[in-house]
Structure 1
Amino acid sequence: MEMTTLSEELQQLSSWKEEVNEVRNEVKLMRERLEQIALSDAPKDVMAKVEHFENRLLRQREVADEMFHDLKQCAKKLSDQPVNVVHHDPPICSFETMQLRMDTFQQLYMELKNEFNRFIPGNESM
């Protein structure tokens, strides 16, 4: 496994926080689009899909909020660590764990976004 410096890890955590914020903004836009459809005279099968996506987007927002909080906490714990670490105990928040969680977060969000874009044509720009 490639070793990274504390500075590189903190920069990556900051980049992930920005990415999670972008996801939160995109989810907001998707929810607004669903709201427009919900207020329209759409058929029942479309309304069922709207409800499906409303639930998924709500959960995505919750996960993004949790991820953002955990990234902030991880960055704080890593930056509070003394520079001269003598022992080899893993930190409470390990960078590797956050990296795995972020990989999963990104993958699941892209799947949701692709499914949403297939449901609502014209949203490929999101």
Structure 2
Amino acid sequence: MEITTSPADLHEQINSWKGIVNDVRGDVKMMRDRLEQTVLSNAPRDVMTKVEHFENRFLRQREVADEMYHDIKQCAKKISDSPSQVVHDDRPVDDFHTMQHRMQIFQKLYEELKDDFNRFMPCEV
């Protein structure tokens, strides 16, 4: 089944993804700041091991967010270079479908990280 989607609609979705990625970046920064408070306290060694674990996960999450943002911008550029109406078979642009799937995974993994961190922090603050 062919569907016609305007680039404006696709750009709206892309802008939404950019916002999500930027929100994740901000949240990760806040979580790192909270984690830093644990480091500054004289926490036991087992807590410090968990701190290091979260520092590594936050670093990786930030790297993935940067990669996602770059790839989203590339997808937007590809759509900008396309005609005024994009005809597709449930896939506006090959990269768009891929980006949509990657965003779902990105959000799922981020939510898991945030949940893990929130379970860890209340016990340690």
| Common topology (TM > 0.5) | yes
Secondary structure of 1:94's aligned partner: helix
How far, CA to CA, are the matches of 1:63 and 1:55 in structure 2? 12
TM-score (norm 1): 0.85
Is 2:83 the counterpart of 1:82?
A: yes
Tell me the CA shift for residue 105 of structure 1: 0.2
Give secondary structure in 1 for the equivalent of 2:22.
helix
- Aligned equivalent of 2:42: 41
1:52 equivalent in structure 2: 53
Percent of aligned pairs with the same amino acid: 64
Q: Equivalent residue of 1:47, what SS?
A: helix
Q: CA deviation at 1:5?
A: 3.2
Worse-matched range after superposition: 113-122 or 50-59: 113-122
Q: 2-side partners of 1:95 and 1:25: how far apart? A: 25
Higher RCO by CA contacts (8 Å cutoff, separation 6 or greater): 2
Q: What SS class does the counterpart of residue 122 from structure 2 fall into?
A: coil
Query: Are 1:11 and 2:12 matched, yes or no?
Result: yes
How many residues are aligned here? 120
Gaps in structure 2 of 5+ consecutive residues: none
Specify which structure has the higher proportion of helix.
2
Deviation at 1:82, TM superposition (A): 2.7
Distance 2:2 2:101 in 1: 14
Q: Is 1:73 equivalent to 2:44 in the alignment?
A: no
Matches within 5 A, 1:109-124: 109-121=110-122
- Gap change, CA 1:18 and 1:45, over 3 Å in 2: same
Shift of 1:77: 1.2
Does the CA-based 8 Å contact 2:32-2:55 persist in structure 1?
Answer: yes
CA deviations 1:60-96 (Å, max 9, x no partner) are 000001001111111111012133779x9x85x5211
Cα distance in 2 for partners of 1:29, 1:16 equals 20
For residue 108 of structure 1, give the secondary structure of its aligned residue in structure 2: helix
Instruction: Compare the two structures and name the one with the higher strand fraction.
Output: 2
